[in-house]
Amino acid sequence: MENIHNHRFLIITIFTISISAQFHLSYSNQSPTIYEILRSHGLPMGLLPKGVTNSTYDESGRFEVHLDQACNSKFENELHYEVNVSGTLTYGQINGVSGISAQDLFMWFSVKEIRVDIPSSGLIYFDVGVVHKQFSLSSFDTPRDCLASSMSNDNLLVSQTVPKIQSRKFGHHEEQSVTGFINLKL
């Protein structure tokens, strides 16, 4: 009788170990989420809204995220995410950002680059072409809810030429075209 109990115990133990090993192998073969990729590049997960399930990432650092719909998310300012968001990740920054706009006062500006120079500073910078907006890094610790948005119906595209800050290297002024959206919700 004792042999039967020992035999059952051995079978249950082997079965449990087998299931655990299969679960571990299937879990470790899964691709990391875009949130985990951001974190591994020294960037906060909250740079992208909650619920991203469809994304691609390649060896060069190029990523693309597909959202179900365009949406807005509130931080210190409001961010707008297009249906497709893309860029190239390097440690501490995203270059060539496409599909994210930041609101400043009543205007929307396309974000060109996002970077964290010194993580201990607690600051993150958004380059919108004319200026670098600085935000608290902790604001982006976790992904935020994103509410459906249609910028084309509620906002007016504004394009103008403005003087750029004097170039430190060449000592001359340049002009740069700036495109933004004016929020005209009445």
Find the CATH number of the domain harbouring 178. Answer: 2.30.240
Q: What pLDDT is stored for residue 76 in this prediction?
A: 79
- Same-domain check for residues 52 and 119: yes
Better pLDDT: 154 or 59: 59
Q: What pLDDT is stored for residue 120 in this prediction?
A: 87
- Residue 126 in contact with residue 146, Cβ under 8 Å? no
Note the residue count of the chain.
Answer: 186
- Same-domain check for residues 23 and 58: no
Residue 22 has, within 13 A of its CA and on its CB side, a CA count of 6
SS3 7: helix
Averaged pLDDT for residues 70-99: 94
Q: Which stretch of 21-30, 71-80, 99-108 has the lowest confidence by average pLDDT?
A: 21-30
Residue indicated by tokens 């003087």: 163
- Residue 142 in contact with residue 46, Cβ under 8 Å? yes
Q: Which stretch of 16-25, 70-79, 112-121 has the lowest confidence by average pLDDT?
A: 16-25
Q: What pLDDT is stored for residue 104 in this prediction?
A: 82
Q: What pLDDT is stored for residue 106 in this prediction?
A: 81
Q: What pLDDT is stored for residue 126 in this prediction?
A: 94
- Residue 180 in contact with residue 100, Cβ under 8 Å? no
- Same-domain check for residues 59 and 129: yes
Q: Which two tokens stand for residue 153?
A: 């119906």
- Same-domain check for residues 59 and 120: yes
- The domain in which residue 53 lies consists of 34-183
Split into its structural domains, the chain has a count of 2
**Beta partners for 158?**
180
Among 89-93, 129-133, 144-148, the range with the most confident prediction by mean pLDDT is 89-93
State the DSSP H helix or E strand holding residue 114, giving kind and residue range, or none if neither. Answer: strand 113-115
Q: What pLDDT is stored for residue 92 in this prediction?
A: 96
For 106, counting Cβ atoms within 10 Å of its Cβ (0-12 exposed, 13-18 middle, 19+ buried), the class is: middle
Better pLDDT: 157 or 82: 82
- Same-domain check for residues 71 and 134: yes
Model's pTM, two decimal places? 0.67
For 185, counting Cβ atoms within 10 Å of its Cβ (0-12 exposed, 13-18 middle, 19+ buried), the class is: exposed
